[in-house]
Amino acid sequence: MIWMQKWRNNRLFSPFVMELLIIMFVVEFVKGALLLTILPVYMKTNLGASAFIIGWTLAAQYIGDNVLRTPVGWIIDKLGYRVTMLTGVLLTFLSVVLMAITSQYIWMIIGCALLGFGTAPLWPCVITGTTEVAGDKGKATIMSVVYMAWLSGVGLGPVAINFFVGSNDYGLAFKLLIGCMTVVVLVALMLPRKQRGADTELPKEEHAVIQSLSQHHQPWMSRVSSYLREVRKSMSVSPLMFPAMFAQTFALGILTPILTLYAKEVLKLSSFQYSMFLIAGGAVTVIFLVPMGKMVDRMGIRPFLLIGFSLSAAALLLFTYVKTMSVLYFVVAALGVGYAFIIPSWNALIASAIPPEKRGAVWGFFLTIEGLGMIVGPIVSGKLWDVYGYHAPFLMSGFVLVGLLVLQMFISIPKKGMVR
């Protein structure tokens, strides 16, 4: 049983990593069900909200998420994973309960903002922890695994919740989501207080810097500012990375509030057809993610970015002009393949610019920039839909990816980000 021994020795399947991936999957399942299926349709049909208002409501979640991402990275480095993640999942649990017991519009917005605060620790914790375990040679592979857990949750949430939503009756659906969050809280209690694997490998001078920053005689704000100065000094990244990180999530954020509206109002899809519509793109992405991650680790980043951005941009530009369902499913699958190319290569590029001793804070900072795209995207999308029609948001998203295709050619890729 050599393969069994290899599996046990594989750090990517350690209990710590598996706990993080379970939390990622279930939280994204809940969030995907709420943001992609329940809230857009409920607010449109039951509350009569415009697409612009729906966009702002969903943006409240991303605002709450983004506000805390950079400080969450610092908290992870100082307090560890259990306290950080447990606080987040408890807030997420509370947000789901709040949305389940109220039908007032203002409380839905507050619930979305609270959901954002609760999910803020999710990505910094998961990415920091998993990349720390994987090491330099497995960045793209572990990012593929993380995104597979994310996409599985995001994809299955909207699909599965359709079977629990009755005619304007969301009670059973909310009970399922509350049950899911109960499981997440229990898993979060199992996390270690702090993962020490990478700390022991740091050079002595880096230990000295970190230790000096944690001395109790320094004022709290002084320790934070000193820590962030060290982070800035240790980063090696092209200035073009920052607008590129924003644009990448902006293109995705544009699709968030209007994808369900397009499927229900324009295509007139049933719940089952919409589920198949989501599976056509999501399942393809999940299937290709890990193989693509391994290929990126072996062959380098650039070719996969070129193919991924080209394929995804073409799919989005054609999306609303295809009327035959069989062809539309093919276009959706092509979009899924494109993102399977983009996700591991793009995140390997970002990970290559992050110093190991500052993973938490730098990932938090980078995720804050990416989160801005997810805040602005839904707001712009809703306005484009209301003013220019349903074609406009998809075209905007496609043209942003075309811009990224050009921009990434001018971003230098550090050698350490290309493992051959």
Between the two ends of the chain, the Cα-to-Cα distance in Å is 29
Residue 279 sits at the vertex; the CA angle it makes with 111 and 378, to the nearest 5 degrees, is 40
Under DSSP, is residue 189 helix (H, G, I), strand (E, B) or coil?
coil
Q: Is residue 120 within 8 Å of 84, Cβ to Cβ?
A: no
CATH tag, 12-417: 1.20.1250.20
Q: Is residue 49 within 8 Å of 43, Cβ to Cβ?
A: yes
Quick one: which H or E segment has residue 331?
Answer: helix 325-351
Q: How far is CA 342 from the centre of its chain?
A: 13
Lowest mean pLDDT among 156-165, 194-203, 260-269, 354-363: 194-203
Q: Can you read off the two tokens belonging to residue 208?
A: 């000295």
Under DSSP, is residue 68 helix (H, G, I), strand (E, B) or coil?
coil
Instruction: Report pLDDT digits (tens) over 297-349.
Output: 788 888 889 999 999 999 999 988 887 888 888 898 899 899 889 888 887 78
Residues 121, 123, 129, 133: what is their CA dihedral angle, to the nearest 10 degrees? 180
Instruction: Report pLDDT digits (tens) over 52-110.
Output: 777 777 788 878 777 776 677 667 767 777 788 888 899 999 999 988 887 777 788 88
Confidence of residue 13 (pLDDT cuts 50, 70, 90): low
Residue with tokens 């694997």: 197
What pLDDT score does 69 carry? 64
Q: Is residue 388 within 8 Å of 376, Cβ to Cβ?
A: no
Q: Is residue 286 within 8 Å of 155, Cβ to Cβ?
A: yes
For the full predicted model, state whether its pTM sits above 0.75: no
Beta partners for residue 166, in sequence order: 169
Sequence-distant (≥ 6) Cβ neighbours of residue 342 within 8 angstroms: 248, 304, 305, 308, 309, 312
When the pLDDT of each residue in the chain is averaged and rounded to a whole number, the result is 76
Report CA-CA distances (Å) from 117 to 74, 75, 105, 326, 351: 16, 14, 19, 40, 24
Q: What is the DSSP string of 86-139?
A: HHHHHHHHHHHHHHHH---HHHHHHHHHHHHHHHTTHHHHHHHHHHHHH-GGGH
Sequence-distant (≥ 6) Cβ neighbours of residue 50 within 8 angstroms: 382, 386
